[in-house]
Amino acid sequence: MKKTLTRIALALALVLALGMAAVAETAADGVYHGASFGRNGDIEVDVTLTDGALSDIAVTAHTETDNIGTVAVEELPGMIVEAQSLAIDGLSGATFTSNGIKRAVENALTEAGIDVEPLKEAPEKVTGQSYDVEADVVVVGGGGAGLAAAVSALQSGAESVVVVEKTDILGGDTNVNGGIYNTPDAEMQDAVEMTDGQKSLVEAAIAEAPVSDEHAALIEAVKADWDDYLASGNTGIFDSANWFALQTWNGGDKVAKLDLVENMANNAYAGYEWLKSLGQEFKPTISQGPGSLFPRTHDTPSGIGAEFINTYIDYLGANYVDQVEFYFGVTADALELTDGVCNTVKGTDADGNTYTFTAKGGVVLATGGFAGNVDMRVEYCQSEKWPDLGPNVGCTGVASDTGDGILMAKAIGANLIDMDQIQLLHTCSPKYGTTEDNSDKGKSVDSIIFVNKAGERFVAEDERRDTICLAVLEQEDALFYTVESYDGYGDKTLDELHSNNFVSYTDEIARDNMFIGDTIEDLAAAMGADPEKLRASIEGYNASVDAGATTDEFGRKTFINKLENGPFIAVPRKPSAHHTMGGVEINVNTEVLDTEGNAIPGLYAAGEVTGGIHGGNRLGGNAIVDTVVNGKTAGEKAAQLAK
């Protein structure tokens, strides 16, 4: 279904035939209240009846996920009013929230004395239609990489861009990203004292024996940057594009294509400046995101990746509203070549309607990875790294992470690379498999420790994600807790503090998503841990901070903030499939390569659908950099073909 851009997503133009007036003619006019559980908590609505018909639905309270549940909150009430029916499809990608809204409206109508069953009778839908759509650039996937490509294509002169999105929600995995972006930033890093532990990381990396000529050249470049830093007398954090690239490549087990890694690192700061030019804001401090390995992380003010999506949408709406069209609920099924050039995308919607999208310029593939496709995970996980990636392992991403774009590209000859490289993330909800219900401090290792169910530390909290996940999988129930103190929260109450999906700590504790205790012993009792072991874990870490330690028995190198003052909080976490580093092979121009190493004319790719960038382990905070740097390039290149 084609939709036209508004501030957050699209205004739905649904025309449904089922009327309500006859059903509700005996109900008294007025406002009726209803509530039901959504994704994160209760959704409350006020339903207004006028002359026996629905005249307004207002969502008065909710805690739904930004840019996922909030889209349903903004759009579904109007859809119900327009249809005068509860028999409407919820928004694909926001099913829990959609169902919660419909149940809340149903409860309000029941309170009004209305028999709601006739309102659930589905109207006939338009089926079997065929649509032909042409644009300068066709982008497949409306996540971070796809929207970056769409913006870039229009900035580069494309007169029209079509974005094909299989769900009803813009943003993809970027919506559930932690809102972190890595890049060297001298101005911000100079203001933070560099620790001995951080210095040792640099010195160890440049002392390593190179495994290739490319590696040797990069080491020499970092050595030169390091020497310049030491000669300058600067005591702030050292960083450079070369050091960022070397850390990324080393952190990915030296598996990635080094030219792609260097391209990302060299353009990271320009991408950061580009985001700011679109209107994106960042916190005025530098941090070290989980799994990022170094303090070069830039955080969105809210700490969520949905902000990046809002920035793209707001920018498009303000500057290119008449030049971009979105087709939601349309699944791309196949890519097609014309005279050897990829310029056609075939798709279908849930009602069996078919679509043919033709690009005058290029096609940008930005469909994400395959972390949510259990069959693909099992098929390609051929290494001995992970004991099991079957259905018992959750997925942090959105439901659309099913590898569609990878399979479509493979079908026209694209080469796949690093498909066995699958990343797990440790900081995930045991209930949902997602990154939700995490504490305000949970994204940074500055003020937390990890303990198992017994209350014992077992791994360096600032280690690589895969190292942490393997250690967690060896613990009882493959579960651990992030433990923090109230230090830094000031006078904020539990009602004022919110988890990363905007649920108050009070509600999270009530749902057993967090545990709290005024003392360490109280916390141990709440979480079922051994109080002596938990105290030893906390006090041992605090002693390392006091001693100015550069490492400890687990190899941790970050010792900044002590855990001193209660109440103490523990958040249960468990690993989930997070990022698939493999995908279609591209070059630095984001051209998709075939099995012979040649570019497939007209086809570009960016984001998690690609392989070769992150190697065997993606560093935390690099995913958004990948989508921005390569999405921007893909849009530029695709637009150039239309000229």
| Residue 366, token pair as written in the block | 């930005």
Helix (H, G, I), strand (E, B) or coil at 315: helix
In degrees and rounded to multiples of 5, residue 360 shows phi and psi of -70, -35
Interatomic CA distance for residues 506 and 610, integer angstroms: 41
In degrees and rounded to multiples of 5, residue 253 shows phi and psi of 65, 25
| Residue 517, token pair as written in the block | 């205790």
Report whether 160 contacts 385 (CB < 8 A): no
Answer left, alpha or beta for residue 478, where phi above 0 means left and psi between -120 and 50 means alpha. Answer: left
Q: Is 628 exposed, middle or buried (0-12, 13-18, 19+ CB in 10 A)?
A: buried
Residue from 296, 465, 556, 573 carrying the catalytic annotation = 465
| Residue 318, token pair as written in the block | 């303000």
Question: Is position 465 annotated as part of the catalytic site?
Answer: yes
- Residue 402's contacts (CB-CB under 8 Å, 6 or more residues apart) are 370, 372, 373, 376
175: closest CA among 304, 81, 313?
304
Report whether 346 contacts 333 (CB < 8 A): yes
Instruction: Tell me how many degrees the CA angle 417-463-419 measures, rounded to the nearest 5.
Output: 10
Q: Is 643 exposed, middle or buried (0-12, 13-18, 19+ CB in 10 A)?
A: exposed
Residue that has been written with the tokens 């994600």 in this structure: 465
CB atoms within 10 A of CB 227: 11
Interatomic CA distance for residues 622 and 608, integer angstroms: 11
Residue 75 identity (one-letter amino acid): E
Q: How many residues does the chain have?
A: 643
What is the helix (H) or strand (E) element at residue 46, kind and residue range? strand 42-50
> Strand pairing of 610-611 and 583-585?
parallel
Helix (H, G, I), strand (E, B) or coil at 80: helix
Report whether 588 contacts 544 (CB < 8 A): no
| Residue 284, token pair as written in the block | 């005025």
Active site residues: 465
